[in-house]
A = this chain, B = another copy of it.
């Protein structure tokens, strides 16, 4: 089949007829399939059940069931230090969600400022740079605090650094969220050059902060995964500029994992001071369970291979459908990521919302179209985030067929009505 834009009106209408027939068949199945969020599947959750076997809840003679140890138990801090390539003193173990660590950090900047700077709540305008498409929950945090979001386009190497280097000359630009490895939703890993340029930024704002959301740091799907330069190795004098977070949400249990934050001594000190008001300690029993379950970083990486084995067939199937059904039509583009949780699909400009509607009509829930952009506003109305992890393979097969059919139908509607 040739590209849609090269087909005649008659050819397109005939194609539409075929697609509508197929679409009606899907609808008749009364499906309820969910590809909206990066939820691990039941099979993946089952991988970590051994974590719950009875253990001795003491470490170095300290009863972790009781109060204390604000920044986490020693062994858990070491595990994350090894994972992220920093010293244990630069680690704080957090609650079950790294989102909570990020929200709390932005909230702290808003309420009290950054290492002595003016609190952001006292400024007339605060802006953040948002690589797009990006993670909706980052945008939600920023919007909650009234922080103005500025789109920065992603390239295959990470966010467009020429644009960023220009924008940080504005003193009102106070920071940026990044998902540097297997970015959400595109699955792009920032190149070494991008990481170096980010690390070398000299923003006008002294209180410029990058939240380095390394959510998918060990979430390879292909045998040969991407590698990400450790930004703390190249920050030099800029070490206070980056706050890194990660979690075991997609290693063990999304609702009951352990999160961690890595930062410079100065940032850790400021965060700990606030934490001392905010809580007594996070769940140290859960921290110890995780340490005993993984053993060390090698054990953690071995565990992630089991996840990959479950995820790979799902990603392969989606990519195969996209290639077979949308390849060569000139109406959609996508990347084939080596890891992470998402496949980002760019459909014909102006049709993404319609694709979402059609999918919904046929019983497939996608991430709300537009959510991958600040304010839910995708200027091209073209980006769709596919989350293949949750549905069983058979359902995913069907859901992707429905998605591809919807992408074609929406394109034809756009081209010939």
Which chain B residues border A39 with CB–CB below 8 Å?
Answer: 66-68
User: Complex: how many Å from CA A66 to CA B387?
Assistant: 15
Contact between A256 and B280, CB atoms less than 8 A apart: no
A21 at the interface (CB under 8 A from B): no
A141 to chain B: which residues have CB within 8 Å? Answer: 277
Q: Which of B42, B66, B280 contacts A45 (CB 8 A)?
A: B66
Indicate which residue in B63, B254, B285 contacts A42 across the interface (CB closer than 8 Å). Answer: B63
Please tell me if the beta carbons of A276 and B140 are within 8 angstroms of each other in the complex: yes
B283–A255 CB distance below 8 A? yes
Partner of A274, one of B40, B53, B54, B144: B144
Asked whether A301 is an interface residue with its Cβ less than 8 Å from the other chain, the reply is: no
**Which chain B positions have C-beta within 8 A of A95?**
95-96, 279, 282
Among candidates B69, B103, B276, B278, residue contacting A277 with C-beta atoms closer than 8 Å:
B103
Chain B residues, CB < 8 A from A110: 111
Residues in B with CB closer than 8 Å to A285 are 253, 255-256
Q: A96-B282, A145-B111, A255-B285 given as contacts; is B37 within 8 A of A65 (CB)?
A: no
B residues in contact with A280, CB < 8 Å = 97, 99, 249, 254-255
| In the complex, A416 has a CB within 8 A of chain B | no
List chain B residues, Cβ under 8 A from A96: 95, 279, 281-283
**A254-283 CB contacts (< 8 Å) to partner B:** 254-256, 274, 276-283
Residue of B nearest to A38 (CB): B67
A389 to chain B, nearest CB (A): 10
Our pick among B121, B249, B253, B278 for the contact of A111 (Cβ within 8 Å) is: B121
| A140 → chain B closest CB, angstroms | 5
How far apart sit A29 and B37, CA to CA, in the bound complex (Å)?
A: 61
Chain B residue, CB-CB nearest to A252:
B65
A107 within 8 A of B: yes
Q: Which of B37, B107, B140, B283 contacts A286 (CB 8 A)?
A: B283
- Find the residue from A42, A141, A254 having the highest chain B CB count within 10 A: A254
The interface residues of chain B lying within 8 Å CB-to-CB of A286 are 256, 283, 286
Chain B proximity of A76: nearest CB distance (Å): 12
- A335 part of interface (Cβ distance < 8 Å): no
Given contacts A255-B285, A286-B256, contact A277 B66 (CB under 8 A): no
Judging by beta carbons under 8 Å apart, are A140 and B97 in contact? Answer: no
19 pairs, CB–CB < 8 Å, chain A vs chain B: A40-B66, A42-B63, A64-B255, A65-B254, A65-B255, A67-B254, A67-B255, A68-B255, A96-B283, A99-B279, A100-B279, A121-B121, A137-B277, A253-B285, A254-B280, A255-B283, A255-B284, A255-B285, A256-B286
